[in-house]
Amino acid sequence: MKIGVIGLGTVGFGVVDILTQQKERLEKLIQEEVVVKYGCALNEVTLPDGIIYTQDFHDVLNDDEVDVVVELIGGTTIAKTIILEALKKGKNVVTANKALIAHDGQEIFEMAMKYQSKIYYEAAVGGGIPVVVPAKEDLVANEIEKIEGILNGTTNFILTLMETDNLDFEEALTIADGLGYVEADASLDLDGKDAAHKICILAMNAFEIFFDFHKIQCTGIRGVTKKDIDYAKKLGYRIKLIAQAKKLENGYGIDVSPTLIGIKDMVANVNQAYNVVEITCNYLENVIFYGKGAGRYVTASAVVSDIMKTHQPTMWQHQYQYVEDIFPITYSKYYIRCDHPLDIDYEMYYSQDHDHIYITNPIELNDLKHQLQNESYNLLKVRG
């Protein structure tokens, strides 16, 4: 097995390190030599002896000896070109590119099937948490009914700080940014887009469908206030950014939104930069995947696992049906904060100072908004 790693940032270097340090053990596992032949990046770097440095990804793609191309540059432009060209040449591909798989997965998978190449992308969803492969292979006896989880460590870290350190959103964001948790494009984290990319990939495989990524409704955490976090805690809840996907009678519900989770729920107690994915299916019922969702060696470990997987026979297929019927999940309980009493059907009520807080009974969001027309309020989804 000869490998070309394109993209030598944090994760790329982690992949090279693991493949170098674990070379002998990995070779014993697959009974084949494991060689990193190329490291490709725009800026020259120092690589272990024997690895060829190049600035031109064509050197990797045009080398017939390279049978695995690892794409770690990110984005949806050059990365797409690299992956499609590699697949056309019959090379296997490993990527951590969640945005590209979410936006262009159908085209990429169809190319892989046409040229009988393999593509794996475990690191695109949970960093080092194994969830894509188990959901696609180990749950094959089951029909997956619902997926829910915390899929973005940055927002989880910020919400944790707001609660535990008594900080407002901007203060917590500044700390998270200083620690390197926030993407260069902060909107990917804060507006829920990163979590949407990941739930898109999980839903695609779980329900065997392709769909337009832009139909996923995203609400990020910018509107979550310290006051709402405090009130939620008094009512027995904790606020998390939850991505979810499930089958509906008329299609599929997929969305990302800040959500109140009961404090006794396991998901509510996933804090700091950790991720969790809960899968509900017909036979196994519930299974939970938990761990760190980012970091050099955390993510690189998933990439290396995928590289080893290219050597094995695969049962993976992506012959999915394209569907139009993608909707936000709007039937739910809701948290409402208003500066005066409201005439609504509720399960729980609390008041403090000039604030009136309600947890509604389950209701369609449009019906609730109709009842609240001309009112000024804060509203969040409630799980359960």
**How do residues 144-153 score in pLDDT, each as one tens digit?**
999 999 999 9
When pLDDT is cut at 50, 70 and 90, the band that residue 296 belongs to is confident
Which residue do the tokens 């404090």 mark? 263
113-117, 180-184, 216-220: which has the minimum mean pLDDT? 180-184
170: which residues sit within 8 A by CB, 6+ positions away?
none
How does the average pLDDT of the chain come out, rounded? 95
Look up residue 100 and give its two tokens: 């590209």
The predicted pLDDT at position 313 comes to 82
With a pLDDT cut of 70, the percent of the chain lying above it is 100
Please tell us whether the domain made up of 132-327 is placed in CATH 3.30.360.10: yes
CB atoms within 10 A of CB 283: 8
pLDDT, tens digit, 9 for 90 and up, residues 62-98: 999 999 999 999 999 999 999 999 999 999 999 999 9
When pLDDT is cut at 50, 70 and 90, the band that residue 292 belongs to is confident
Instruction: With a cut of 90, say whether residue 180 has pLDDT above it.
Output: no
Burial environment of residue 255 by CB neighbours within 10 A (0 to 12, 13 to 18, 19 or more)? buried
Q: Let me know how long the chain is.
A: 384
The CATH code of the domain at 2-121 is 3.40.50.720
| Mean pLDDT within 348-364 | 97
The predicted pLDDT at position 87 comes to 98
The predicted pLDDT at position 222 comes to 97
Instruction: With a cut of 80, say whether residue 270 has pLDDT above it.
Output: yes
From 198, 240, 333, 381, the catalytic residue: 198
CB atoms within 10 A of CB 143: 11
Domain regions of the chain by residue span: 2-121, 132-327, 331-382
With a pLDDT cut of 90, the percent of the chain lying above it is 93
The CA–CA distances, whole Å, from 261 to 23, 57, 234, 246, 300 equal: 44, 46, 12, 18, 31
Q: What residue type is 307 in one-letter code?
A: I
The predicted pLDDT at position 314 comes to 78
The predicted pLDDT at position 107 comes to 98
Q: What residue type is 110 in one-letter code?
A: E
296: which residues sit within 8 A by CB, 6+ positions away?
10, 11, 13, 14
The predicted pLDDT at position 203 comes to 98
193-232 b/e (C-beta count within 10 Å ≥ 16 → b): bbbbbbbbbbbbbbbebbbebebbbbbbbbebeeebbebb
Q: Kindly write down the DSSP assignment for every residue of 273-336, as one continuous string.
A: TEEEEEEEETTTEEEEEEEE---HHHHHHHHHHHHHHTTS-------PEE---EE---EEEEEE
The CA–CA distances, whole Å, from 88 to 62, 91, 113, 188 equal: 11, 7, 10, 31
| Mean pLDDT within 308-337 | 93
| Mean pLDDT within 303-332 | 93
357: which residues sit within 8 A by CB, 6+ positions away?
231, 235, 335, 336, 337, 349, 350, 351
Nearest-5° Cα angle at 171, 257 to 176: 70
Tell me: is residue 98 an annotated ligand-binding position: yes
When pLDDT is cut at 50, 70 and 90, the band that residue 308 belongs to is very high
pLDDT, tens digit, 9 for 90 and up, residues 2-46: 999 999 999 999 999 999 999 999 999 999 999 999 999 999 899
When pLDDT is cut at 50, 70 and 90, the band that residue 367 belongs to is very high
Tell me: is residue 183 an annotated ligand-binding position: yes
Rounded to an integer, what is the distance from CA 135 to the centroid of its chain?
14
pLDDT, tens digit, 9 for 90 and up, residues 187-235: 999 999 999 999 999 999 999 999 999 999 999 999 999 999 999 999 9
Q: Are 204 and 211 in contact (CB under 8 A)?
A: yes
Query: Strands across the sheet with 52-54, in order?
Result: 52-54, 35-40, 2-6, 68-71, 92-95, 119-120
Measured CA to CA, the distance from residue 303 to residue 72 in angstroms comes to 9
**198: annotated active-site residue:** yes
